[in-house]
Amino acid sequence: MLIFYLIILCLGVFIAIQAGLNSNLSTAINSSVWSAVISFAVGTLVLVVYALGSQAELSFNKLLNVPPYLFVGGMLGASYVLGVIVLYPKIGAVNIVIFTVLGQMLCSSIIDHYGWFGVQQSFINWKKVGALLLMLVAIILFQKSK
């Protein structure tokens, strides 16, 4: 189980680095939107190569029967990447990460509480509320340390 936590920790590092790289790409080409498009194009290429080498063939019949709302994830991901590209030079790396994590913690606590999307239900309790409040304290301390 420890390996899973180490992997996701590394992925968090990737997100912090990706924000800076995408923001610098935006400056280099003078376009936030095209920076996001390029980021997604490169990511898509990597995923296609990986899928072709490791996964079973995609069933287009199954794909046609997927409810349309399940494709909203791509829109949410694109919105996140574009938002980070635009906001990174304005609010900085720490603020990007800490507010993103706070938003994720708030929303994921609700998702876990209700067991949405097939996750095991885990009710909100005073310890979780306390942890969220500690995150707010961390945000306040980061803001005051400028």
**Mean of pLDDT values over 51-70:** 91
Domain segments of the chain: what residues?
A: 11-91, 92-146
Q: What is the Cα–Cα distance from 92 to 107, expressed in whole angstroms?
A: 23
Q: What's the pLDDT at 26?
A: 97
Longest dimension (CA), the chain: 55
Per-residue pLDDT tens for 115-128? 999 999 999 999 99
Are the C-beta atoms of 39 and 80 separated by less than 8 Å? no
DSSP 57: P
pLDDT for 27 beyond 80 = yes
Question: What's the whole-model pTM score?
Answer: 0.86
**Which tokens sit at 35?**
């920076």
The confidence band for 57, taking pLDDT boundaries of 50, 70 and 90, is confident
Q: What is the residue-averaged pLDDT of the chain?
A: 94
